[in-house]
Chains A and B, each alone.
Chain A
Amino acid sequence: MFRKPRFWLLVFTLAALVFNFCHPFDIQLPHISLAAEKVTAIGGFPITNTLIASWVTMAVLIVVSALATRNMREVPRGLQNVVELIVEKLYGFVESIAGPHTALIFPTIATLFLFIIVSNWMGLLPGYLSIVVEHAAPSAHEGAHAVEKVPLLRSAATDLNTTLALAIASVLMSQVYGVIVVGFPQYFLRFVSIRRYIAFFRGLRGRGPRTGAGSLLFGFIDLFIGVLELFDEFTKILSFSFRLFGNIFAGEVLLGVMVFLFPFVASLPFLGLEIFVGAVQAFVFAVLSTAFIAQATAHHGAEAEVHEEQPAPQPHVVSTVGQGT
């Protein structure tokens, strides 16, 4: 019994649990701040801990990728195998949603996913938030010599700048891909839906089939829907950024509080939970981005083609009711 490792693990765990209530360390409730802390400044540009964490994440991603693909083999080994597996699964996944435009949009989706998941998981590593540097805080009240202790690293997604940037990148790229696939003016007809008016006035001038006066009303509805679509793009940015930020930030706060309450062992399940949450958020971000980009590239493209190829001989109004939504 005393020689079994399992027994000693149990003893150790129980001791650690008891240790929670009588340990000599002074563990404080972490300082919770929505804004990322400024660590230093280069030429007046403030460098925050989340920015540093972003760079670390990027560096890790780039170095691992470069190492894995430095000399690729036909028969994959080790790191190359892992990287190939990840890329292949991601590609297949994007393909299952986006279909034919996968090769075009894959870099965006994959980068979003990889950056978010690696950043989230790295944010759970020891060292994040716990390594602090002293930073001379420019305090307005008590002179310039107040010294602030600031964590050197903080998970990148706990900064709205990061998540907003990712959200903007995602929505921006969906516009770019929309224009690439659908064409320049056609894509923006999505937001300024004046197709019905164009058809109506063409009909009046005898250049196309005449459409009834009712198309004026439907045209107005289309315009309104176009405004909604435009509004929707901004809503996407907000929902993307705040979802990611909220989840990861809340996770960090939760972990901080748990460590404050039960520093040993008892907070471990929450660490596992945060690993899960970090992966799920990356996944959600990637799925939604893929879906939005697929929507921007496929749906309206098909509609535009239908409009161009068929100078509809039948009453236009009836055939297009419900489109554009």
Chain B
Amino acid sequence: MEKLGIIPGHLVAQLINFFLLMGVLTLVLYKPVLRMLRERSERIAKGLAFADEAEKRVAQAEAEYQRRLEEARREAQAIIAQAREAAEKERQAILARAQAEADAERARVAEELERERQAALVALRGQVADLAIEAAGRVLRRAVDEPTHRQLVREFLSQLEQAS
């Protein structure tokens, strides 16, 4: 043992050294580093899971958005078609009504014209009769000769012209 240099005191000292080193390294090296590694791997796992979740959600939102967009488009188309149809119907109605009104107006105007013409005819006929009677009376009240007659007629006509 002496030749090999083994001294019990040194052996014990080195044993103590080893366990001391083990204790200190456990405190300052293994525990903190392993804890850090574990925490980091946990965090990374969590981050990855979160990213997955987020991706899924984005995809869902995208699908939802597309769906709504499609729906809105269809609705808009429907609304436009409906509006067009309504407008067409309205146009037809307006046209029909205008036509009817125009027809009615024309009929009314024609009737009025006819009535006025008739009234005018009646009035004219009355006046002509009156004038004839008056003219005849005047002719009959005076002895009338040819020139007087002509005179009378001329007067009458001028009166007539004045009167009309």
Q: List residues of A whose CB falls within 8 A of some B CB.
A: 33-36, 45-46, 48, 51, 54-55, 58, 61-62, 65-66, 68-69, 72, 74, 76, 83-84, 87-88, 91, 106-108, 110-111, 114-115, 159-162, 164-166, 168-169
B residues near A87, Cβ cutoff 8 Å: 29-30, 33-34, 37
A residues near B7, Cβ cutoff 8 Å: 46, 161
In contact, B37 and A108 (Cβ under 8 angstroms): no
Partner of B6, one of A46, A106, A115, A164: A164
7 contacts between A and B (CB under 8 A): A48-B10, A51-B14, A69-B28, A74-B39, A107-B26, A114-B25, A168-B11
In contact, A34 and B18 (Cβ under 8 angstroms): no
Among A54, A68, A74, A107, chain B packs the most CB atoms within 10 A around the CB of: A107
In contact, B17 and A72 (Cβ under 8 angstroms): no
9 residue pairs, one from A and one from B, having the closest CB atoms: A35-B5, A165-B14, A65-B29, A161-B10, A111-B22, A69-B32, A87-B33, A165-B15, A107-B26
- Quick check: is B79 within 8 A (CB to CB) of the other chain? no
- B30 closest partner in A (C-beta): A107
CA distance A165 to B17 in the complex (A): 9
Q: A159-B5, A168-B11, A169-B15 provided; 9 other pairs, C-beta below 8 A?
A: A33-B5, A36-B5, A46-B9, A61-B25, A65-B28, A68-B33, A69-B28, A87-B33, A159-B10
In contact, B10 and A51 (Cβ under 8 angstroms): yes
Shortest Cβ distance from residue B42 to the other chain A in the assembled complex, whole angstroms: 11
CA distance A84 to B40 in the complex (A): 12
B residues near A74, Cβ cutoff 8 Å: 36, 39-40, 43
In contact, B18 and A166 (Cβ under 8 angstroms): yes
A residues near B17, Cβ cutoff 8 Å: 54-55, 58, 165
CA distance A105 to B74 in the complex (A): 69
B residues near A33, Cβ cutoff 8 Å: 5
Given known A-B contacts A62-B24, A84-B33, A87-B33, A165 and B18 have beta carbons under 8 A apart? yes
In contact, A83 and B18 (Cβ under 8 angstroms): no
- Quick check: is B21 within 8 A (CB to CB) of the other chain? yes
Shortest Cβ distance from residue B34 to the other chain A in the assembled complex, whole angstroms: 7
- Quick check: is B78 within 8 A (CB to CB) of the other chain? no
In contact, A166 and B25 (Cβ under 8 angstroms): no
In contact, B25 and A164 (Cβ under 8 angstroms): no
Given known A-B contacts A160-B6, A161-B5, A58 and B30 have beta carbons under 8 A apart? no
